[in-house]
Structure formats: structure tokens, C-alpha cells
A and B are shown apart, each in its own frame.
Chain A
Amino acid sequence: MLNYTFDWSIITSGKYFDWLVAGLITTLKLSTISIVMAFLLGLLIAVMRMSNSKPIRWFAHAYLEFFRNTPLLVQIFFWYFGSYKILPTAVNDWLVSTNFEFAAAAIALTIYTSAFIAEDIRSGVLSIPKEQMEAARSAGFSYLRSMQYIILPQAVRITIPPLVNQFLNVAKNSSLAMTIGVMEMTYQARQVESYTFKGFEAFTAATVVYLLLSILITALVNAYNEKVLNIHKAA
């Protein structure tokens, strides 16, 4: 059936092993930077989404709908190929002087993920009883201060599991960065395949890495749910 000789040694040591490790490091770096920025941006959008001012609410809503309903790949291409026309010259110069592929991928991942995170945060906030906000307001906190000191600290605690899952999504989504030449995990697997014709070994290695990452993160989320939130999943 399969006329193919397996040679696992090429991915367990030597040059190709180093490539794959470098890919993993890039994937982790890209996902970590993106998730941190996406969290901050998502928090901002979530607060805007719940604002009392109609135009601000509308803007946040449009932002969410637009970025959640367009493919990430198209967004990556837009930031990589097409953003120079809408960005100020200073920003363009700075982007080109850094690693532009990496920066474009990070921007696209940040914006795409922030839309999902904003919704996660919003449902976390909505799960906080309304009385909390009313009590804070009558105690004299402004809207933003009640958010900052009363609502968000409680909401973020509930939102941590979906946020950690978003990190997993970002790690998986960051594979699309290979299309613009960011040398992350999938790119390196493809590269090893091109150099050695050992596609099965290379893709197995990448798959195992992604899988380990997702097992690890799922275990973390489950532990957090049990230990901190006291949610026990039925076995």
C-alpha cells in the first residue's frame, strides 16, 4: 500500500531538528505577543461595547462584527500587502525596519483575536449581577471606575478559562503566518518536507507539538476550573 520508507532520525536530531525547534519558538513568541496585545485591545473594545454612548457602542459593535466575520488569512494579507496606504509614513518606516512579516502577522492575529476576546469578556461582565454596578455607582464611583475596581476584577476571574482557550486558538491560527513567510512551526515542517521529501515525519513532528500544546492548555483550564472556580466537570 504505502511505498514509503520512514526515517525518523532526520527530525530527532541535527539541522532539521533545529529548524523545527526554531519554528516552535517563533510560534510561541508570535502567539504570546498577540494574545497579550489582543487581551488589552479586547478589554478596551468590551468596555466600549457596554458604554452608555451610542456612537461608541456602535463602533465597538461594528468592529466586532467586521473582524469576526472575515477570514484571518485575508486580514493577514491586508496588513502585509495593503496596509501601507492607510498607515502613517512613520509607522510604515518603523514596521519595515523591524521584522515586517512578523509584525504584520502579529497585528492581524491581535486584531482578529481581540474581537473574540472582547465577546468573552463581555459575557464574563454580563454574568456579574447588575446590583454590583448599581451599588458601585451609588457609592460614588464613576462608570469607568466601577468597571475598573468592581466589575472587571470579578469578570476577569470568570473569563480566564476562555482566554486561555483563546491562546490555544492563537497558537493554531498563527500557522497562517507561514503564508507571508514567518518561519513558525508549520512553515518549518513544510521546509523540512521540501528539503528531505520526508513529509510524514515532518508533519508528524509539527502535529505532535500542536497536540502537546493543546493537551497542556486543556489540562491547565480544567485544573483552574476545579481549583479556583469549583466547577466540576462530569466525567
Chain B
Amino acid sequence: MDQFFNISVITDNFTYFMIGRFPHGPLGGVGLTLYLAVVSCILSFFGGMFLGLLSISRFAIVRYPTLGFINLVRGMPLLMVIFWMYFLMPALFGKIAENNTVIMALTLFTSAYMSRIVVAGIEGIPKGQTEAAISTGLTSWQLMLYIVLPQGLRNMIPSFVNQFVSLIKDTSLAFIVGVSELTHVATQINNRTMAFPTEIFIFIAVIYFILCYAFTSLSRWLEQRLTWVKAI
């Protein structure tokens, strides 16, 4: 058994897998993966809302550039977005920590996808609601803020959670610019120990799976629950 699946390489490095060199050094491993995912998720919620609202603006001069930008980002691989950020940001703003570069890239990328969710959520609100709001004299901003978004956002929640799952998976790409999240930590340990790549990569695959599956299940549960609430 020990030859086939060497468990000690996992147990010996377990803390390193989980939190990197924290608290004596920077956070790494699963901790950093979750940190990157959570921060990017919160930022891209606002980014997605912003892009989504602009992309259904009444003014063509706002709408078309926004749609163009969204499609540009959605047409690119995430890796490309990360490289763009990695090379463009320092040229524009001077030195930026790799963690923040990755957060910016993930935020930009996910915002483009979230904007589609926001638009779908807004379009899912029955037209009667909008008409009723306008006839009671609300301005278009009040209509959005008090009538459409509160209802729309609730329907978007499962999709947002799915997007968060994608983000957890996408953080593995931070490896490429040397951010020491879980995948990077795994390659480090793999390079150091040399002999146990199978064990290491199966182990981190299982960790990712547990994280993602938990949130996928949450999203399914929310979806059922929300339909149930709506049915009443």
C-alpha cells in the first residue's frame, strides 16, 4: 500500500497544503485559494452589476462599448487575461503584488460573466412590475433600485454561487504568475519530494472537489428553495 499510495507525503506537508507558511510567512495553500476566490467574488459581484446595468442602458453610446468589452473578455482564455494584467498593470501603475494582479484578472474575467447573469435576472422580472412602477411615478433609477433589483437579485443567487465555484477552480491559474495558492504549493511539494506526483495531485484534486462540491450543492439547494418560495 505504501508503495502504491504514499500517504506520508500528504500528512507531512498537511499544514503547508492548508495555509502555506502562515503565520510565520505569507498565507498560502487552501487559505490563499479561498482568499483569492472570496475577494474576487465580492469585487466581481459589483463589477458584474456595473457592467450588466451599463450593457442594458438606454444610451447606445454606453451600451455598445460595454457589450463590446464584455464580449472581448468572454472571448479570451482566463490565462490570457492574467497575462494582460501581469504585463499591462505594472506598465501603467508601477509595481503591484502578484496576489493583487491575480485578483484584478479574476475580477475582470468573472465580472464579464456575472454581467450576463445580472442581465438575465433583470429580464426575468415580469414586465407588469416595470409598468406598474412607472405608472406610480418612479424614475428609472428608483425602478431599478427598489423594484427590479431586489427581486432580480434573489433569482440570481444560485448563478452567483455557481460563479463562485468557477472562481475557486480558476484560482488555480494564479500558479502561472507564482502566487502560492493550492496548485502552486502542490507543484512545489512535488518538485521537492520528486517521487509522489500521483498522491499529491489526487490529494489536491480531492480538496478542490470538496470545496466546489459543497458550493454546487448549496446552489442546487438554494435553487429549489427559491422556486418553492416563489411558488407561494
Residue from A4, A83, A190 in contact with B83 in the complex, judged by beta carbons closer than 8 Å: A190
Q: Which residues on A are within 8 Å of B, measured CB to CB?
A: 1-4, 65-66, 69-75, 77-78, 81-86, 172-173, 175-176, 178-179, 186, 189-190, 193, 199-200, 203, 206-207, 210-211, 213-215
Contact of B198 among A83, A211, A215 (CB under 8 A): A83
Residue of A nearest to B33 (CB): A71
Whether the pair B92, A1 counts as a contact (CB closer than 8 A) is yes
Q: B interface, how many residues as a size bin? A: 35 or more
**Is B42 an interface position by the 8 A CB rule?**
no
Smallest CB separation, B231 vs chain A (Å): 21
- Contact residues, B173-232 vs A (CB, 8 A): 173, 175-176, 183, 186-187, 190, 197-202, 204-205, 208-209, 212-213, 216
- Report Cα–Cα, A227/B96, bound state, in Å: 50
Q: Which 9 A-B pairs have the closest CB atoms?
A: A81-B197, A82-B198, A69-B212, A214-B75, A71-B172, A82-B197, A172-B77, A175-B77, A78-B201
Residues of chain B at the chain A interface (Cβ within 8 Å): 4, 71-72, 74-80, 83-84, 87-88, 91-92, 165, 168-170, 172-173, 175-176, 183, 186-187, 190, 197-202, 204-205, 208-209, 212-213, 216
Given A74-B172, A77-B187, also A69-B209 (CB < 8 A): yes
Using A77-B201, A175-B77 as known contacts, say yes or no to A211 and B4 having CB atoms under 8 A apart: no
Task: For B79, list chain A residues within 8 Å (CB).
Answer: 175-176, 178, 186
The answer to whether A66 touches B209 (Cβ under 8 A) is yes
Q: How far, in whole Å, are A73 and B208 apart by their CA atoms in the complex?
A: 11
- Extra contacts, 17 of them, besides A71-B168, A82-B202, A84-B198 (Cβ < 8 A), are A1-B92, A69-B169, A72-B169, A74-B201, A74-B208, A77-B201, A83-B198, A172-B78, A186-B80, A193-B87, A200-B87, A203-B80, A203-B83, A207-B76, A210-B75, A211-B72, A215-B75
CB-defined A-B contacts under 8 Å, sample of 29: A1-B92, A2-B91, A2-B92, A66-B209, A69-B213, A70-B169, A70-B205, A71-B172, A71-B208, A73-B173, A74-B204, A77-B197, A78-B202, A82-B197, A84-B198, A85-B198, A172-B77, A173-B77, A179-B175, A179-B176, A186-B80, A199-B83, A203-B84, A203-B87, A206-B80, A207-B84, A210-B76, A211-B76, A215-B75
A32 to chain B: closest CB distance in Å? 17
Q: Is the CB of B83 within 8 A of A186?
A: yes
Asked whether A71 and B213 contact (CB < 8 A) given A82-B197, A207-B76, the answer is no
For the complex, give the distance between the alpha carbons of A72 and B198 in Å. Answer: 16
Contact of B172 among A3, A73, A82, A215 (CB under 8 A): A73
Distance of A65 Cα from B91 Cα, bound (Å) = 41
CB-CB < 8 A to A213: which residues of B? Answer: 75
From the candidates B76, B87, B200, B212, name the one contacting A172 in the complex (CB within 8 A).
B76
**Which residue of B has the minimal Cβ distance to A169?**
B77
Q: In the docked arrangement, what's the CA distance between A214 and B55, Å?
A: 20
Q: Which of B76, B83, B187, B213 contacts A65 (CB 8 A)?
A: B213
Q: Which residues of A contact B170 (CB under 8 A)?
A: 71
Contacts of A83 in B (CB 8 A): 198
Q: Which chain B residues border A203 with CB–CB below 8 Å? A: 80, 83-84, 87
A73 with B75, Cβ < 8 A, contacts A82-B202, A190-B83 known:
no
User: Is A69's CB under 8 angstroms from B87's CB?
Assistant: no
A81 to B197 Cα, complex, angstroms: 6
- Give chain B nearest CB distance to A104 CB in angstroms: 12
Name B168's closest neighbour in chain A (CB-CB).
A71
- Which residue of chain B lies nearest to A206 when distances are taken between CB atoms in the complex? B80
A71 and B198 contacting across the interface, CB-CB below 8 Å: no
User: Which of A70, A190, A199 counts the most B-chain CB atoms under 10 A from its CB?
Assistant: A70
Q: What residues on A are CB-neighbors of B183 within 8 Å?
A: 71, 73-74, 77
Which residues in A have their C-beta under 8 angstroms from that of B175? 73, 179
